[in-house]
Structure 1
Amino acid sequence: MVFGHAALGSLGNQFVFRRAPLALCVVAAFGPDWIDKPLKLLFGLPGHGIAHSLIGGALFLTLFALLCRRARLPASWPLVVALFWSLHLVCDVVRAPVLFWPFLGAFPTVDASTAEMAWRFYTVAPLSALAWCDIALTALAVSARLALAASWPPVVRPVLANRLTIGKERHFIDTKP
């Protein structure tokens, strides 16, 4: 659910955590993957490993809260990250042996690479209900961001549109009459 995690971060930032930076929300929505995917690539561990377990999540979120406190970052950031971490686990439909590791035994092994699994997720016909949810969340997030852009004041809209243009010459529009 690659795009769905980013969509949840975007939607959460837009409608729930408006004071939290968008980057924090999107990065937090991928929370467990920032830990488990590199461990999979480097050491061959499962892609849903320690960070996708409740014990691992509690450990990493506690460490993050302590780092935020030490760095004097906003007190709400650990809550934001914990919410998105939890949503990530729900969206990944984490199985009980992973979620309750080590109480239900070892992590299940998966031979496929993360790229292969993502490819199958989006291309196997018919798409799973989870893939459709991912697509719907992404469409909702994109349409919400476009609606936000449409609500920019008329004076700001052309200037921002020009600054967001990639690969073309930028022409700044004089908005004064």
Structure 2
Amino acid sequence: MILGHAATAALGRRLTHAPWAALLLGAFAPDLMDKPLGLLGLTGSRAVGHTGVMLLAAGLVCLLLIRFHRLRPATALAFLGMWIVHLAGDLAAPRMLFWPLLGPLPQPSGEGIWAALRGYAFFYLRPDFTRAMFWLDAGCLLAAGLAWWPASRRKRV
């Protein structure tokens, strides 16, 4: 849901006027952690970044940055809000969200980087998935466009 995460960041920008960097980083943070680890065969494609523990850790880092005047509270809320929206958009399983309380994370296949790349390709190119993901991403982009359009239209007049 690459375009979907970008679209939610665009909606977040429209609603909050938070910095793009905070919105995009929050929208992609779980995948920025998990996908490289998954490609290396260290974890599954959804692992530590998709857990509540990591969200809590990110929140604590934000609190420290706010405390030392390195981050505005509104920017931290936008970043953490996009992280939560990412988890909701990915429909993260309760076992993942509440790790380690509900059991261990899924184990990696251990087949190496080429097997992981083939797995991603199969996952994203399956006909049933492609159709569903297309409409999900298209819906997210349409919603972001509709939310953005009136504001951009008013600025030109």
Alpha-carbon shift at residue 79 of structure 1 (Å)? 1.5
Compute the RMSD of aligned alpha carbons. Answer: 2.7
CA distance change for structure 1 residues 115 and 61 in 2, over 3 Å: closer, same or farther? farther
For residues 122-133 of structure 1, the aligned pairs below 5 Å read 124-125=127-128, 127-128=131-132, 131-133=134-136
Residue 38 of structure 2 contacts residue 108 of structure 2 at CA under 8 Å; is this kept in 1?
Answer: no
- Answering whether residue 17 of structure 2 is matched by residue 14 of structure 1, we say no
Percent of aligned positions that are identical = 29
Question: What corresponds to 1:82 in structure 2?
Answer: 80
- The answer to whether structure 1 residue 50 and structure 2 residue 53 are counterparts is no
Please tell me the residue identity of whatever aligns with 2:67: R
1:95 is matched with which residue? 93
1:1-177 correspondence runs (5 A): 1-15=1-15, 17-18=16-17, 20-42=18-40, 44-109=42-107, 111=109, 113=116, 116-117=119-120, 120-121=123-124, 124-125=127-128, 127-128=131-132, 131-154=134-157
Deviations along 1:46-105, whole A, 9 cap, x unmatched? 221112111121012211331243243212222112211111111001112211111222
Instruction: Give the TM-score normalised by structure 2.
Output: 0.78
Letter in 2 for 1:137: C
Comparing both structures, which one devotes a greater share of its residues to helix? 2
Aligned mates of 2:67, 2:118 — CA distance in 1:
36
Q: Higher Cα Rg: structure 1 or 2?
A: 1
Alignment coverage as a number of residue pairs? 151
SS at match of 1:76: helix
Structure possessing the higher relative contact order (Cα contacts under 8 Å, 6 or more residues apart): 2
After superposition, the Cα gap between the structure-2 partners of 1:115 and 1:106, relative to the gap in structure 1 and judged at 3 Å, is same
CA drift of 1:24 comes to 1.8
